[in-house]
Amino acid sequence: MTAEQIRTLILLILLLHVVAGIVAFSVLINSLNAKYRKFVIEHSESLKQLDEINAAYRFNAVKLFDLRHSYDNENFFDTISTRDYLIYQLAHAQKEVIKSIKAAQANKELHEKYKEEIAEKCILGTFDTDELLSNEKKLLRTEARMFKQKTKQPITAFSIYVCLELTKINGVHRDSKCQTYYSPDVMKLIQRINNKSGDFYNDTGIWDAICRVERGKVSNRLRFAIYERDGNRCRKCGRRTGDLEIDHIVPIAKGGKTTYDNLQTLCHRCNMQKGTRTEFYSNKSRRF
């Protein structure tokens, strides 16, 4: 054996000793911890009380929402706010949101009672035996940790996280803006959205936000697909100009959606003649 090999061998043996030591130590700690945990389970009065309290309280499941949308068009990304996007989503689906807000509110009230009852009935450090384990501090620490783990932590605050992302047309990330909205804010928006006369939104701010988001659904990717489908010509006059635009066949202001079938290629002149732009801001047609 060379000196080099002997050195390696000695190092290896030393290393094995260290590893064996660590394993033995952690086994010892684990069995010690298990002993303390077992004692707490068997003798802690407050943990038994907590089990009884827990059995009496049922908290609601609360769905927290996470809304995300990607824009490949910088203009839309700049004009559309996270609030606009939230309004749009709430206008189309608010049942689940309202359900979750109510569930969180109910949880909050029940959670107050739950905490009060715990404070009243559970006194940590009360054991049904006088023969405690040797390390009393460790015992109390173990009990406190287990008590915390067993205490229910219901969701009591509703929130919606809205995140708008700006990407390149190939999907590569460029920028993002995100905001969390809580229930008082969301409820106020829902009230404003539901302030309708038939199909018409009475709140201009709400209506403008909805239109911005609907219009913003014309991604560059979709735009090019429509141009290609229409043979890069104006569908009205048939010209192939450099100023082609995307037009909503049924205008957004009249309830038209941004779908493949409701979009067409028009040149700037034909689009202006159609007059969707004036319609878009007309108060008389806030239907959606």
Provide the edge-to-edge strand list for the sheet that holds 159-167.
Answer: 65-71, 159-167, 173-182
Distances in Å between the Cα of 77 and the Cα atoms of 5, 26, 214, 225, 258 are 65, 54, 13, 20, 17
Distances in Å between the Cα of 206 and the Cα atoms of 75, 85, 95, 150 are 20, 11, 18, 45
Instruction: Answer yes or no: are the C-beta atoms of 183 and 158 closer than 8 Å.
Output: yes
Stretch that binds Zn ion, among 67-75, 190-198, 266-274, 278-286 (CB under 5 A): 266-274
Size of the site for Zn ion (CB under 5 A): 5
Q: Where are the alpha helices (DSSP H) in the chain?
A: 3-43, 45-56, 74-79, 82-92, 95-121, 136-150, 183-193, 204-215, 220-229, 268-274, 276-280
Phi then psi for 127, rounded to 5 degrees?
-120, 150
Which of residues 90 and 267 has its CB atom nearest to Zn ion in the complex? 267
Q: In this chain, which of 11, 14, 237, 250 binds Zn ion, going by CB under 5 A?
A: 237
Q: In this chain, which of 256, 267, 286, 288 binds Zn ion, going by CB under 5 A?
A: 267
Instruction: Tell me the C-alpha distance between 128 and 74, whole Å.
Output: 68
Please report whether residue 47 would count as binding Zn ion according to CB under 5 A: no
Which of residues 102 and 236 has its CB atom nearest to Zn ion in the complex? 236
Which of residues 111 and 233 has its CB atom nearest to Zn ion in the complex? 233
Please report whether residue 236 would count as binding Zn ion according to CB under 5 A: yes
DSSP 44: B
Which of residues 234 and 246 has its CB atom nearest to Zn ion in the complex? 234
Please report whether residue 270 would count as binding Zn ion according to CB under 5 A: yes
| Least distance to Zn ion, CB of residue 270, Å | 3
Stretch that binds Zn ion, among 106-114, 163-171, 223-231, 259-267 (CB under 5 A): 259-267
Contacts of 35 (CB under 8 A, 6+ apart): 133
Please report whether residue 234 would count as binding Zn ion according to CB under 5 A: yes
| Least distance to Zn ion, CB of residue 268, Å | 8
Amino acid in the structure at residue 116: E
Mask of contacts with Zn ion, 131-150, x by CB under 5 A? --------------------
Which of residues 192 and 236 has its CB atom nearest to Zn ion in the complex? 236
Which of residues 103 and 267 has its CB atom nearest to Zn ion in the complex? 267
Binding site for Zn ion (CB under 5 A): 234, 236-237, 267, 270
